[in-house]
């Protein structure tokens, strides 16, 4: 018969809870936000980024980040950037006034933290466009969290017809999935909350994080595209529902105000650069 000391017992409990990284997890803050570089989009003319043409003739360099949120109870990926095969094309690709490129693969960046796609417990995307769901299919063993409206949209016949973008997330059709109507609190502690604020696509969402030291953070998805657009409340022409987007922007700004949240506009280079450079994190 084998006897355990009480210390051994707690060490075993901690090890089973933390997946073996007892020491790392025990000293780490409760939650960490990592911003990874998952591409960039140089736009020749920002005309289509506002229905009133406010940005006509302006070029802009957008960033395409992906985020890892490390919580004591699991890792969450929020948005997956461009399909990482783009990183194998040194010149990137051009078309329609957009030049897209990628300097580092998402999986290589995760590897810097000793993580494999199969270590990620939860995958969530703000919406299913190719600059947000480009690598989503790699996370088919994670639990996929998505609004019911976006799930219906991304697996519609119309979406299936768009073979290239559908292929990037098609494996998620068989993934463990949590579908929500208005919002989903990932760990039930209010620290990682996904909120549907539709209009860019039928079920597009934003992410509210409540960090211990840095406080509340609101990640926009594509509800807002860049700082100049936020100042004007701009709605891009390529949104699925312009009036719904206007209501969502108003709700988002009210939420940011009520929470005292820092707003992180995902495609805005200044907001990306203001975050700690990977592999450093915000906590």
Q: DSSP character for 282?
A: B
Angle ∠(235,200,40) on CA atoms, nearest 5: 85
Binding track, positions 170-209, relative to Zn ion; x by CB under 5 A: ----------------------------------------
Using the minimum distance from each CB to Zn ion, give the nearer residue, 176 or 270: 270
Compare residues 73 and 131 and give the one whose CB is closer to Zn ion: 131
Stretch of 102-110, 173-181, 192-200, 217-225 lying at the interface with Zn ion (CB under 5 A): 217-225
CB of 283 to Zn ion, least distance (A): 26
Instruction: Return the bridge partners of 101, or none.
Output: 40
Minimum CB separation from Zn ion for residue 106, in Å? Answer: 15
Q: 222 near 204, Cβ under 8 Å? A: yes
Task: Work out how close the CB of 222 gets to Zn ion at its nearest, in angstroms, rounded to a whole number.
Answer: 4
Q: What is the DSSP letter of 178?
A: E
Verify binding: residue 79, Zn ion, rule CB under 5 A: no
Shortest distance, CB of residue 48 to Zn ion, whole angstroms?
Answer: 13
Which of these ranges, 103-111, 129-137, 188-196, 199-207, lies near Zn ion under the rule CB under 5 A? 129-137
Strand order in the sheet with 98-101: 93-95, 98-101, 31-43, 60-71, 74-78, 122-124, 143-147, 177-180
Residues 104/39, Cβ–Cβ less than 8 Å: no
Task: State yes or no: residue 222 binds Zn ion (CB under 5 A).
Answer: yes
- What is the rounded CA–CA span in Å between residue 231 and residue 120? 36
Rounded to an integer, what distance in angstroms lies between the CA atom of residue 90 and that of residue 212?
Answer: 39
Contact residues for 149 (Cβ-Cβ < 8 A; gap 6+) = 196, 198, 202, 203
Task: Report the C-alpha gap between 189 and 7 in whole angstroms.
Answer: 28
CB atoms closer than 10 angstroms to residue 262: 18
Output the smallest distance, CB 154 to Zn ion, in A. Answer: 14
Selected binder of Zn ion within 131, 150, 268, 271 (CB under 5 A): 131
| Number of residues binding to Zn ion, judged by CB under 5 A | 2
Give 70 or 127: the residue with its C-beta nearer to Zn ion.
Answer: 127
Distance CA 202, CA 192 (A): 22
Q: Which is nearer to Zn ion, 109 or 225 (CB)?
A: 225
Residue 60 CB, nearest distance to Zn ion (Å)? Answer: 13
Binding mask 30-69 for Zn ion (x = CB under 5 A): ----------------------------------------
| Residue 83 makes contact with Zn ion by CB under 5 A | no
Chain contacts with Zn ion (rule: CB under 5 A): 131, 222
């Amino acid at each position: 018969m084998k006897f355990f000391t009480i210390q051994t017992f707690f060490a075993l409990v901690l090890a089973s809870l933390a997946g073996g990284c007892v020491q790392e997890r025990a000293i780490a803050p409760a939650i960490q936000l990592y911003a990874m570089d998952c591409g960039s989009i140089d736009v020749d003319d920002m005309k289509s980024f506002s229905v009133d043409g406010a940005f006509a003739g302006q070029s802009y360099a957008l960033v395409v980040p992906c985020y890892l949120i490390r919580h004591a109870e699991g890792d969450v990926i929020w948005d997956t950037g461009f399909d990482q095969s783009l990183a194998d094309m040194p010149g990137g690709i051009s078309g329609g006034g957009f030049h897209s490129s990628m300097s580092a693969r998402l999986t290589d960046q995760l590897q810097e933290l000793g993580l494999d796609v199969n270590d990620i417990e939860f995958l969530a995307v703000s919406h299913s466009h190719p600059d947000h769901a480009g690598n989503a299919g790699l996370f088919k063993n994670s639990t996929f969290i998505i609004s019911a409206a976006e799930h219906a949209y991304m697996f519609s016949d119309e979406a299936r017809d768009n073979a290239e973008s559908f292929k990037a997330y098609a494996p998620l059709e068989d993934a463990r999935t949590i579908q929500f109507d208005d919002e989903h609190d990932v760990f039930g502690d209010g620290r990682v909350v996904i909120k549907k604020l539709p209009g860019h696509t039928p079920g597009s969402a934003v992410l509210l994080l409540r960090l211990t030291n840095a406080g509340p953070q609101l990640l926009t998805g594509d509800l807002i595209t860049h700082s100049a657009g936020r100042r004007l409340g701009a709605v891009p022409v390529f949104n699925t529902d312009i009036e719904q987007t206007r209501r969502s922007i108003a709700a988002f700004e009210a939420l940011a105000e009520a929470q005292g949240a820092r707003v992180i506009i995902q495609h805005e280079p200044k907001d990306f650069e203001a975050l700690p450079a990977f592999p450093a994190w915000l906590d």
